Structures are given as structure tokens and as C-alpha cells.
Amino acid sequence: MKLELRGITKRFGSLTANDHIDLTVLPGQIHALLGENGAGKTTLMNVLYGLLQPDEGEFILDGQPTAFHSPKDAINAGIGMVHQHFMLVPVFTVAENITLGVERTHALGLLDRRRTRRDVRELSERYGLHVDPDALVEDIPVGVQQRVEIVKALLREARVLILDEPTAVLTPGETEDLFRVMRELKAGGTSIIFISHKLREVQAIADTITVLRRGKVVGERPPTASDSELALLMVGRKVELRVTKAPAQPGDVVLDVAGLTVPTGDHLLTDHPAAVDDVSFQVRAGEILGIAGVQGNGQTELCEALMGLLPSVAGSVRLSGRDITSATPRDRLRAGVGYIPEDRQEDGLVTDFSVADNLILDVYDRPPFASGLSLNLDAIRSTAVKRVADFDIRTTSTSTPTGTLSGGNQQKVILAREIGRDVKLLVASQPTRGLDVGSIEFVHRRIVEQRDQGVAVVIVSSELDEIYALADRIAVMYEGRITGFRPPTTSAEELGLLMAGAGTGPDAGTQAGAASDSPGEPTEPV
Amino acid sequence: MSGPPGEGPVTPGPVTPGPDGPQSPGPGTPQDAGTPAIATSASGDAPPPASGGEETAQDGRQPFGRIILESIVEGNSAMVTTLAIVAAIVVGGLLIAFTDPVVLTAWSNFSANPGNAFAQAWDSAAGSYSAMFEGAIFNPHTIAAVFQQASLASALHDGYVSAVFNPLSETAVNATPLILAGLAVALAFRAGLFNIGATSQWIGGAMLATWLGFGVSLPPFIHCVVCVIGGFVGGAVIGWVVGVLKARTGAHEVIVTIMLNYVMEYLLSYLLGTSALGKPGSNDLISPNIAGSAVLPHIAGPSLRINAGFLVALAAAVGVWWLLSRSTLGFEFRTVGANPSAARAAGMSVERTWILVFLIAGGLAGLSGAAVVQGTDHFLTFQSYGTYGIDAITVALLGRARPLGTVLAALLYGGLYAGGVQMQAVTQTPASMTEVIQALIVLFVAAPAFVRALFRLRGAKAGGEGQTLAKGWSG
């Protein structure tokens, strides 16, 4: 099916999210939509999927102008969408989820389970999707859940499949699997619109790349286009894709974690007793330790335990020799730990509060911001003005609620707050998740700058690119354990293996058997 | 180990992104603006535009209570609240008219004389409301009476001048306990807590103030102050219990406060039946009168009931305003209320905040009890607490959990009570109609979407991102 978008325009108040967008998706083509967050990719796809109505423009399907007033219209026209956040019922089986809304029934309206299962199996085998119709969705890994979403769209006879940032939740291995599936679908004649902000992935899989910037199409390129050319189109200026940094000059040990063990919050839901299992590492002043791993392998809990937000049951944490294992979060912050939490809107910011208030969230009761019980509004305001300038926070004023800022600027507020204090140790969890290239560059430079000033830095990231860009040493976490320490020169393949639990590194011998515990299908080597 | 000097001037970052060329998202540009971060399932209809961030948006994870709280406290603009009051008064007027037998008779003869039917309905509603106005704000007849006197001096002496101010005095007297109890609820709201227990805290404060009022003897001014402080302490203790139970055991404050209301109501009855608090030689559940030295002084002459309690209430409102918007403690309260997990990550003790909030809120409700006992009643009965604790919730909601709003809402309620008495006396409209109007206001306030539709206001939430959150927190 040939899909054409002509002059699609979508406005939100004064903001034009999509500005006269023209796009043509040929049958059996993988068409990548590349752009920063806020470029209007998701808006465009929501318009296409009938979730939003365009203010101007039209869709042409195989030469026929068409309008979609709801997702139902779009589905009937053969458009399927896999959202960034899956729309699955966790306690239903794969087959039930797939047929939700288009249930196979007997004459009397009873569910025909046999036919449901058969249909799902047939469809998934045709494209090599390998999903077990009887597995419960909550039991299968994220990569497989994504395939369930794809099968769901295919069952509704999608001939144009929209994948919105599909690789954000996948391991490198799972990403390769997804690409294989995409190629099979393409061979079967399905068109795919692949939304991403990752240059490497787009180059690897797309037939055509359309770049969006600030709601406009700024160019169409073949996948052979260079990194720097695509980045230039995407950001509109020259960006350094890799932070240039001098070799680390490690000093004294700042953070010493020994045998740290943190129980999981929910013993009933997982069979794994400890979220963080006997983890030991040291970080020295002036070095960055990158903790790599697929999301959900204990990194979040490790960071929260380091900050005193989760209690540990064994092990110790020392900061410059001082035992802070049982110190409160406030004690740790005061002792010189900066913390950039993984979920900035949930843990990092009060989105209803102004930029100025968020900039003092953990120092509001200390001079110069407070004298006695009284807040010093002048000091708060003037510091905010200074930080906004220093950290290039794009906001209309310091009293603007942070919830209205873009993700990149929200992260800059947190960064400005945390490294605006005198810190010895910076713990940053997923510091650039969901940010645009420009903001990523900014955050990375600031973190390296801190390292160069002698701060010990722990970076947790599930993006290998980020780990490579920042880390002086890499630790890989899998199922709550560190499966190996590696230098930053290690290949992605080797790290991918460690991330999948197949570590046999020098200090990972005991975890060798852990791989067999991994649920569902084993992740294939890259 | 080194870094930029702490809170002092920060070393200007040498590395900033190149100033050349346009850069990533401009000022205030929302990310993929306005797009539903999470769309409905494939077969669903178009969802409402969800606000939220790009990857982290996980709407629907908020606890139910918080959603209610936000939609009432944050979702209503002052405009909507005002219009809700207007709508309630209009509907109230219709109810007044069409429960009046005269009006009903006129309408049964509608075909014979339609003009009369409308005129009767208008007269009934207008008459009731003007009586209410006269009872709550001012009565033109009293002005006329002043001018009929020989001189201003004699008018003053004979009480004609104070009669002019009597309606306002009554409104203020009725509003006083509502301001204080309303603040108790509003403060808790701002910290994300539901204080349904203003009743129990009111009783705690009233009992201690009463006991200090008749049980100890002190010089006049000091006695009065001691009793007021006693009222605060009595309420604070009850509030503290709630805070501690929530912080230590995780007990939900709604359950605890509701149950404590019963505990305190029955404790009050019991104590009034014993020699500890009861009036000796009386079979009624009533306390002795407090000493004259403990009575809050009148502030506008002996014939007007308005007393220093009203000043205490206004001072408390200013205090709560300062606490919430100018103090470090209030910053903590608001942070915990807006986002407890961010508060925790920023090193605040959420539990400590809960305890402190309930302590102060309890104290405010306790002051409300003291103000009633020391200001107007001078003794305590087993049902003195009336509906202050429940009205406090509606007053706080109507005042959008802001101190000034709470004062205004309490004055409105106080005026409705004062006017209701006059209305019943002058017209045949029952005073309980004021309660109907109060209930209607709450109904309209609780249904902002309905009020917006009624007055064709543009939805504050439907206009896309940005507007939703563009609301200050100060004050």
C-alpha cells in the first residue's frame, strides 16, 4: 500500500507541532522518521493513526484521499501502530491480548479459544515472530511483548506499521531481533514507519530517512548518509557526537561499595530475592564508572540504595572513608553526593513548582536561601537567574512551572541543582533518557567537566552509546549482580553478552549459571 | 574532591553549547507538544490530550485521592468558583420560589394570569435574598433609624449605630470558627493530606480551652491568652496522634481522622458527665461557664458579638500564608504535597512532614474550638462542635486550599448563616434553605466541567499543554 501525507499541519495553540509535512511511504519500504524529541514525530504519527485530527492536509492511500477520525478508521484502512508504551493487559495471555477487540467467537458469542490460538500461532510463524499464544504477558520479556504488539497489528491486517521508538526498551540483542522481524515484514510487503532519534539504528535498517526538525521536514536522505550529515539536519547545527575528553586521572577512592545487597520490594511478584545482590565496586575521584545493563536489572535499586532511599540488608557504602550505609538521604546529600534520578518527573522535579523552586529543592533550608525558618526569596530568585544562564535552561522565566519545559531543559534544571552544590560524588541514573541530541551533548559535557574537577561519577545507563561516551570503566549489571568490569575499549558484542547474563569475566565466574534463569527465549548474541 | 564553591557564586561554566545557529527546543517549547503520551488501545476512541513528558509519562498511576484533590484544588480557577456560587444562588432562588405556597398557587393559575405567576416567583426569591442580604451585610432600615435620631451622639449612645453593623458582626462571628477550621483542612490539603478530623481537633482544643477557662484563675489578659494557647495545644495533640499513626504505621489519615472524630465526640460527652469537665450539680452534659477573664474581648462595642476571636482567625490566616509561601517548613509541606517521591529524593523526611502538618492543622482546628467557647458560647456542651469540622472541608475546598480563599469562603458561609436567620424571621423561607445553597455551591464547585459548560468558558485543561500547569503556588 502506498501512503502519502500531503501538507499535514497540526497546531496546539500557538505552537505548530507539524508544519505542512509531506511524506510518501512506498509499499514494502522501511521509512525512518528521524528527529529530536519535540520535533513532532509522535504528533505526526498520532495524526496518521486518527488519535489527533490534522488542522490542514490530507492522507492519500493508494491514490484515494482518506480521513481518519479515530484509530478505528486508521485500523480499517490498514494502519497499525506499536506505541512506545505497550497497550497490553498483563494478566491476559498473549493470544487474548492479540485478539482483544476482534475476538474469535462461536455461534453463540462464546470465545473460540482454539481458533484464537491457531490464528495467533500461524501469524507469528509466518513472520518468524515466535510468540507463545498461551504465555501470560506479564511473564514474557519486553522484547517479546513488543512482538505481541506487532502481531496484534498484523492480525488487524495492517499494511503500514508504525513503530514509535521501538528500540528504547530493548537490549542490543533484542534490537537485532526486531530488525530481523522488520526485514521479514518488509519482504512480505508491509510498509514500516520507524520512528527514532538514534542515528545508528536508522542507518542500519531504513530504506529512506526523513528528518524532522521543529515540526518541519528538513530533508530526506538515503541510509548511506553520514552520521554528521544526519545529525546536522536533525539538530540544525553542528554537534559533537562524542564528547572529547582527556584520559581520566583517578585520585583517591571516593565511593567504596562492598557487598551491598538490597531486597526487592515485591517478593511475591518475582522469584529473585534481591534486587541488588552482593555488589562491590569502588569509584575514585576524577573517574567515571559506567554501569551498563538492560533496564530492570537492579540499577535503579542500586542508585536508590546509594542515596539512602532504599534500605540495604547487607554490605556497606563508604564515602571518602566515612561509613554512610545507614545515613539518611539528607545526610548523604549534605556529605557531598549529587543525585540525578532516573525518572526526572517523578523523583527529580516537582513539576508544579517553578524553575526557581526546583533549583533549591535540596538546599532550600540552608543559607543563603533560608535564614532561620524564613525563605530568602531574593537569593532564590537571583540564584535561579544565574543558574538558568549558566546551564542554558530555556524557560520564559524562573517562575515558569518546570512541567511545561521540554525534557532537556527539565534535566538541565536537575543538573544545575545537583552540580551547583559542592559535590564529591555524582550519581546519575539514565541522565539523558528521552533527551534530544543537543541536550545529550550538553549533559555529557557537564558530567565530564565534573570528572575533570575531581568528582567521582557513577553513571547508570541502558544505552551503550552513553556508556561508551562517558565511562572510564564499565561495570555490567545483570539480575542484581555485577557480571564484569571492562575497559571502555570493550566491544559492544562482549558487553551485550554480559548484559544478557552470559558473563564469564575475571570477577564474574560465579554468575556464569545465571544466564539459564533468564525468562523466555534466550537473547541471541549480536 | 574540588568543585565549584557550594552555594556561593558558581564558576561560570566555560563550556556552553555554541551560540551559533538555532538550538534545540526554544523557550517553553513542550516536547512533542500536546500529543497523547499514551494513546488508547487500538479500538478506542480519541483520548483526551494527556499532559506529560515524553518517555516517562505514566498517567493513571496517581493515587485516586490525589487526583480528586488536584482536580478540586488545582483544576478550578477563581472564575469557576465564583460562577459556581452564582449558579448556586440562581438555583437556590428557584428552589425558594417554588417551595413557596403563594408562588405555587399563582403557578397553578398560570393560564389565567401568567404575569402574576412570574411576578410571585420573583418576589419570593428576591424577598428572601434581600432579607438574607440585610441579615448578612447591612440593612437600610438601620441606617434610616440612625438619621431619625436627634444627634449622632444619641444615636451612638442608644445603639442605633451598632445596629447598622450588627449584620457584618454576625457574619464575622459565624465565619470565625470556619476560618480557623478551614485553615486546618486547607493546610493539610496543600501537603497532600486529607484532614477529615477537624471535628476531633476542634473538640480537643475546646475541651482544653474550657477547662483552662473555668479551672484556673489568672489575670484577665493572661488568662485569655493562656486559654487560646490551650486551644491550640489541645487540637495539636489530637492532630499529632493522626500524623504519628500515619508516619509510623502507614494508617490512612482519612480513616484515622474519621474514627478519632467519634472517639473525641464520645470522650467529650463522657467528660461532661464527670466532675472533670461537667457543671457541678447539673444533669445536663454541659460545662461550667468560663471565667470572665478568659472571655475573648469584644472589639466593636458590647452590643456587637464580634470579638477578638475574629482577629485571631485573621492572624492565623496570615500565619498560614507565611508558613506556606515564605517559610522553609512550608516549602517542605508543599513539596511533599506535590510530589512525595521528589521530596524524599531531595532529602526531606516525608514522615516528619506528615506529623508536623497534622500537628499544626490540629492546632488551628483547636483554635476554632477555643474561639467558639471563649468568644461566643462561654461554655461547652456535648454538641458544641456542631458541623464546624465538616463545613471546614467545604470552606477549604471552596477557598481552593489557599489562606485568603479560605477566609473569603468562610465569610461567605458565615454570611449565609447570618442571613439565613434574618431570612427566616422576615420571610417564611426556612433557614435551612441556606444549607441547601451551601450544598449547591459545593456541588457546582465539585463539577467544574459543568460550570464551564454552563457559562461557556473555555476549558482550562482542554486548551493544550502549558495552561494546565501555568498556575503559581505562592499564597
Contact (CB, 8 A) for A138 and A90: yes
- For the range A462-467, what are the long-range contacts, defined as Cβ-Cβ under 8 Å and sequence gap of 24 or more? A462/A292, A462/A293, A462/A294, A462/A295, A462/A299, A462/A430, A463/A432, A463/A433, A464/A172, A464/A292, A464/A492, A464/A495, A464/A496, A465/A198, A465/A200, A466/A290, A466/A431, A466/A432, A466/A440, A467/A290, A467/A292, A467/A495
User: Scanning the structure block, which residue is given the C-alpha cell 468558558?
Assistant: B457
Taking the CA atoms of A108, A110, A115 and A119 in sequence, report the sign of the dihedral they define.
positive
Inspect the interface and report whether the beta carbons of A39 and B32 lie closer than 8 Å: yes
Distance of CA A75 to the CA centre of its chain: 27
How many interface pairs between A and B have CB atoms less than 8 angstroms apart? 290
Amino acid at B295: V
Q: Does A513 lie at the interface with B, CB-CB under 8 angstroms?
A: no
Residue A66, CB-side half-sphere exposure with 13 Å CA sphere: 23
A66 shares its domain with A135: yes
Closest CA to B296 of B216, B236, B209, B234: B209
Closest CA to A291 of A476, A490, A489, A463: A476
- Chain B interface, mutation test: which of A103, A237, A307, A426, most B Cβ atoms within 10 Å? A237
A365 → chain B, closest CA residue: B328
Nearest C-alpha of chain A: how many angstroms from B10? Answer: 7
B45 → chain A, closest CA residue: A70
Q: What is the ipTM of this complex?
A: 0.75
Closest CA to B13 of A440, A336, A416, A287: A416
Residues of B in contact with A251 (CB under 8 A): 1
Give the pLDDT mean for A336-359.
92
Distance between CA atoms of residues B296 and B173, nearest Å:
12
Distance between CA atoms of residues A386 and A390, nearest Å:
6
A275 shares its domain with A331: yes
A277 shares its domain with A145: no
A223 shares its domain with A273: no
In a domain, A108, yes or no: yes
Nearest C-alpha of chain B: how many angstroms from A506? Answer: 31
A71 shares its domain with A218: yes
Whole-angstrom Cα Rg for chain A:
24
Distance between CA atoms of residues A448 and A453, nearest Å:
9
B47 → chain A, closest CA residue: A51
Distance between CA atoms of residues A359 and A370, nearest Å:
14
Q: Which of residues 210-239 of A touch B (CB under 8 A)?
A: 235-238
In a domain, A353, yes or no: no
In a domain, A102, yes or no: yes
Host H or E run for residue A303: helix A299-306
Distance between CA atoms of residues B372 and B307, nearest Å:
10
A13 shares its domain with A91: yes
Q: Which residue has the higher pLDDT, B5 or A308?
A: A308
User: Scanning the structure block, which residue is given the C-alpha cell 540483542?
Assistant: A173
A112 shares its domain with A148: yes
CA angle B397, B403, B408 (to 5 degrees): 70
CATH number at A309 reads 3.40.50.300
Inspect the interface and report whether the beta carbons of A403 and B74 lie closer than 8 Å: no
What total number of domains does chain A contain? Answer: 2
In a domain, A477, yes or no: yes
Distance of CA A505 to the CA centre of its chain: 27
pLDDT digits (tens, 9 = 90+) for A272-295: 568 899 999 999 999 999 999 887
- In the predicted structure, residue A378 carries a pLDDT above the cut 70: yes
Q: What is residue A265's predicted lDDT score, i.e. its pLDDT?
A: 64
In a domain, A481, yes or no: yes
Q: Does A410 lie at the interface with B, CB-CB under 8 angstroms?
A: yes
Inspect the interface and report whether the beta carbons of B473 and A362 lie closer than 8 Å: no
Q: Which of residues 341-380 of A touch B (CB under 8 A)?
A: 341, 343-354, 357, 361-370, 373-375, 377
- Chain A interface, mutation test: which of B32, B43, B45, B335, most A Cβ atoms within 10 Å? B32
DSSP label at A345? I
Q: Which residue has the higher pLDDT, A515 or B426?
A: B426
All three cell numbers of A398, joined, read 524562573
All three cell numbers of A493, joined, read 558484542
Q: What is residue A326's predicted lDDT score, i.e. its pLDDT?
A: 92
Nearest C-alpha of chain A: how many angstroms from B470? Answer: 6
- 3-class DSSP string for chain B: CCCCCCCCCCCCCCCCCCCCCCCCCCCCCCCCCCCCCCCCCCCCCCCCCCCCCCCCCCCCCCCHHHHHHHHHHCCCCHHHHHHHHHHHHHHHHHHHHHCCHHHHHHHHCCCCCHHHHHHHHHHHHHHHHHHHHHHHCCCHHHHHHHHHCCCHHHHHHCCHHHHHHHHHHHHHHHHHHHHHHHHHHHHHHHCCCCCCCHHHHHHHHHHHHHHHHHHCCCCHHHHHHHHHHHHHHHHHHHHHHHHHHHHHHCCCHHHHHHHHHHHHHHHHHHHHCCCCCCCCCCCCCECCCCCHHHCCCECCCCCCCCEHHHHHHHHHHHHHHHHHHHEHHHHHHHHHHHCHHHHHHCCCCHHHHHHHHHHHHHHHHHHHHHHHHHHHHCCCECCCCCCHHHHHHHHHHHCCCCHHHHHHHHHHHHHHHHHHHHHHHHCCCCCHHHHHHHHHHHHHHHCHHHHHHHCCCCCCCCCCCCCCCCCCCCC
B20 → chain A, closest CA residue: A237
- Chain A interface, mutation test: which of B11, B24, B458, most A Cβ atoms within 10 Å? B24
In a domain, A266, yes or no: yes
Give the burial class of A469: count Cβ atoms within 10 A of its Cβ; 0-12 exposed, 13-18 middle, 19 or more buried: buried
Give the pLDDT mean for A128-134.
83
A163 shares its domain with A281: no
Distance between CA atoms of residues A224 and B16, nearest Å:
31
Inspect the interface and report whether the beta carbons of A344 and B56 lie closer than 8 Å: yes
Inspect the interface and report whether the beta carbons of A156 and B329 lie closer than 8 Å: no
Inspect the interface and report whether the beta carbons of B30 and A404 lie closer than 8 Å: yes
Of B2, B342, B470, the CB nearest to A350: B342
Inspect the interface and report whether the beta carbons of A237 and B3 lie closer than 8 Å: no
Q: CB neighbours (10 Å) of residue B252?
A: 13
CA angle B199, B203, B205 (to 5 degrees): 115
A258 shares its domain with A227: no
Q: What does DSSP say about strands A253-263 and A216-221: parallel, antiparallel, or unpaired?
A: unpaired
Residue B266, CB-side half-sphere exposure with 13 Å CA sphere: 4
- In the predicted structure, residue A524 carries a pLDDT above the cut 60: no
Inspect the interface and report whether the beta carbons of A15 and B33 lie closer than 8 Å: yes
Of B30, B36, B47, the CB nearest to A406: B30
With a pLDDT cut of 70, the percent of chain A lying above it is 93
Q: CB neighbours (10 Å) of residue B239?
A: 34
B52 → chain A, closest CA residue: A403
Nearest C-alpha of chain B: how many angstroms from A6? Answer: 20
| pLDDT bucket at A160, cuts 50 / 70 / 90 | very high
Using the 3D structure, point to which of A202, A235, A268 is the last residue of a domain.
A235
Q: Which residues of chain B have pLDDT under 70?
A: 1-76, 456-475
Using the 3D structure, point to which of A177, A202, A235 is the last residue of a domain.
A235
Helix (H, G, I), strand (E, B), or coil: what is residue A247? coil
Q: What is residue B64's predicted lDDT score, i.e. its pLDDT?
A: 60
DSSP A15-46: EEEEEEEEEEE-TT-EEEEEE-TTSSHHHHHH
Nearest C-alpha of chain B: how many angstroms from A118? Answer: 22
Q: What is residue A303's predicted lDDT score, i.e. its pLDDT?
A: 94
Inspect the interface and report whether the beta carbons of A349 and B23 lie closer than 8 Å: no
A271 shares its domain with A166: no
Closest CA to B400 of B87, B101, B165, B79: B79
- 3-class DSSP string for A396-443: CCCCCEHHHCCHHHHHHHHHHHHHHCCCCEEEEECCCCCCCHHHHHHH
- In the predicted structure, residue A359 carries a pLDDT above the cut 70: yes
A87 shares its domain with A226: yes
- In the predicted structure, residue A442 carries a pLDDT above the cut 70: yes
In a domain, A356, yes or no: no
Nearest C-alpha of chain B: how many angstroms from A47? Answer: 9
Q: What is residue B221's predicted lDDT score, i.e. its pLDDT?
A: 92
| Mean confidence (pLDDT) of chain A | 86
Inspect the interface and report whether the beta carbons of B39 and A333 lie closer than 8 Å: no
> Minimum mean pLDDT among A334-338, A427-431, B49-53: which range?
B49-53
Q: Which of residues 160-179 of A touch B (CB under 8 A)?
A: 165, 168
B58 → chain A, closest CA residue: A85
Inspect the interface and report whether the beta carbons of A42 and B32 lie closer than 8 Å: yes
A212 → chain B, closest CA residue: B32
Closest CA to A3 of A64, A47, A44, A56: A64
All three cell numbers of A365, joined, read 533550608
pLDDT digits (tens, 9 = 90+) for A171-213: 777 888 889 989 988 998 899 999 988 888 889 999 999 999 8
The A64-66 sheet, strands edge to edge: A15-25, A3-12, A56-61, A64-66
- Structural domain range at position A290: 252-335+471-517
Helix (H, G, I), strand (E, B), or coil: what is residue A306? helix
